[in-house]
Amino acid sequence: MKRWVASALVLAVGCTPLDMERRTERGPVLRTYLQESQLGERMPFARTEVSWPQLTLRFSTADICRTEQHAEYAEDIITTRSVPGAAGAVSSGGVLTAVGGFLVLGRTLFSNSPDRDGIDREGHYGASSRKVATTWGVVLLSVGVPALVAGIVQLTRSGETKETRKADEMLALREVPCQPQPADGVVDLAGGNGPPPEPRATVNGTLVLSADEARSLSFKGLLLDGSPVLLQDEDLSRLETFRTCASLLAAPVDPEALARQAKTHPDRLRTKRELVRACTTLPGAPAGPLLEAIDSALALGTGIPQEAKPSPPATTPSGTEL
Amino acid sequence: MRYLFILWPVAWLTACSGPEAPDAAVCRDVATRLCQTSACPGVAEQLPLGLDCEATLLERTGCGAEEFTFSSPSRERVLDCRVPLIQVGTTTERPPSCEDAFQFVVDCPDVTAFFRGEAP
């Protein structure tokens, strides 16, 4: 009997489409953590030190250490199931079941005498009111009960379920050289105009360039035994500043020429002043006399003392290639 | 499967009928319908009827008595011939059409003779 009931329910509701909507909502952050790893690929690096009039390049090889910042948070997966028409099935099924049940249970209220007003083609009287009521009651129950059951089952199947799980998200990624070791080799000053300079060998992982050499050599990058050498931003900036200052500070200070330039091209002279001012960041660089001469020339040429409108030092001068 | 599920109540509904009517009731039903169409052309000639049509037919056939039973023609023959007369409805509230009554007279001369009071 239970098998028959289950089969009837399956037939009644088994093929009913179930609308399912799934959405994901982000919950609170549970924790944040750092994950560190090494790429296992050693690369050549160089650091710069200035002690005017010399630039020291210290070469090393280092691994790349990757630091990832992760956030672990709760994530809610909300599944909403709904069956369109379930409420209508319950409503109509309930009405049909109620009327059908009343007709069947209350059939004794109807007359059991046949309808003698008519005789059908087979010679039978019409059915009694009780028989008609019973028949209609059974018919309405046959339609109403499955609809009611189907609607109830569909309503129980519909609803909302929430599943919570952990999720992970990478917030930041940082890669820095780590575990450096001094490296020796042959350094190529590559990428400049004209014939490349002669390769130079490092001594104890260092290569020293004088201001004169930096001024005369043309190069854009460094190669250590053929591999490109990476410089961090501050080292790259220091190298460019050194090369610029090597040119600016090489010529003797000429107040008259500066005075003429202050009158003819004051903007160029102000740009030059910023470059000379950047040279003061290099230890030992004799930028003071030139800077004072430029300030004097500008004060005479424009009538405005330069200290009245200071500007930040240019650590990365334009027009200097590396 | 689904159609059987829907159709079986309908089949039960169509099979819903009362007990078998006695021969006297069937006979009186036919007599009533013939009297309702006694003025129709073709019917009046075959069934000469008096002023009280139903009383005349009941007297001729003897089906005024409750214990009446068909012998010749048989009950099945009368029911078959009655089919045109119930085209409009199974109750006698709506009379049959003259065409249906004439078809009855033409198709069933034996039953017509029975209602004339003659031996078929």
Q: Does B88 touch chain A (CB under 8 A)?
A: no
| Among candidates A125, A139, A143 on the partner chain, residue whose Cβ is nearest the Cβ of B19 | A125
Domain-terminating residue out of A123, A144, A163: A163
Using the beta-carbon criterion (under 8 Å), do B21 and A132 form an inter-chain contact?
Answer: no
Answer whether residue A194 is part of any domain: no
**Are A255 and A156 within one domain?**
no
Confidence of residue A75 (pLDDT cuts 50, 70, 90): very high
Tokens for A140, please give them.
């309405």
Structural domain containing residue A321: 232-322
Q: Is A261 a residue whose pLDDT tops 90? A: no
CA distances from A211 to A219, A246, A247 (A): 14, 5, 8
Q: Is A308 a residue whose pLDDT tops 50? A: no
**Are A237 and A321 within one domain?**
yes
- How much is the average pLDDT of A254-271? 88
**Strand A43-51 relative to strand A230-231: parallel, antiparallel, unpaired?**
parallel
* Residue of chain B minimizing CA distance to A12: B2
Using the beta-carbon criterion (under 8 Å), do A125 and B21 form an inter-chain contact?
Answer: yes
Return contacts of A39-44, CB within 8 angstroms, 24+ apart: A39/A63, A39/A64, A39/A65, A39/A66, A39/A175, A43/A177, A43/A227, A43/A230, A44/A183, A44/A185, A44/A224, A44/A225, A44/A227, A44/A228, A44/A229, A44/A230
**Are A9 and A156 within one domain?**
yes
**Are A118 and A257 within one domain?**
no
User: Residue A181 phi/psi, 5° resolution?
Assistant: -135, 135
Q: Which of B4, B85, B90, B100 to mutate to test the interface with A (most CBs of A within 10 A)?
A: B90
Using the beta-carbon criterion (under 8 Å), do A118 and B83 form an inter-chain contact?
Answer: no
Q: Does B89 touch chain A (CB under 8 A)?
A: yes
Answer whether residue A264 is part of any domain: yes
Domain-terminating residue out of A147, A163, A179: A163
**Are A9 and A99 within one domain?**
yes
- How much is the average pLDDT of A250-257? 86
What is the number of CB-based contacts under 8 A between chain A and chain B?
70
**Residues B3-36 pLDDT 10s:** 445 555 555 555 578 899 999 999 999 999 999 9
**Residues A193-205 pLDDT 10s:** 777 788 889 999 9
Answer whether residue A68 is part of any domain: no
Q: Does A11 touch chain B (CB under 8 A)?
A: yes
Domain-terminating residue out of A163, A198, A213: A163
**Residues A138-153 pLDDT 10s:** 989 989 999 999 888 8
Nearest CA distance, A32 vs chain B (angstrom): 59
> Which DSSP letter does residue A124 get?
B
Nearest CA distance, B51 vs chain A (angstrom): 25
Q: Does A10 touch chain B (CB under 8 A)?
A: no
Three-state secondary structure call for residue A193: coil
| Half-sphere exposure (Cβ direction) of A248: Cα atoms closer than 13 Å | 28
User: What's the domain count of chain A?
Assistant: 2
> Which DSSP letter does residue A66 get?
E
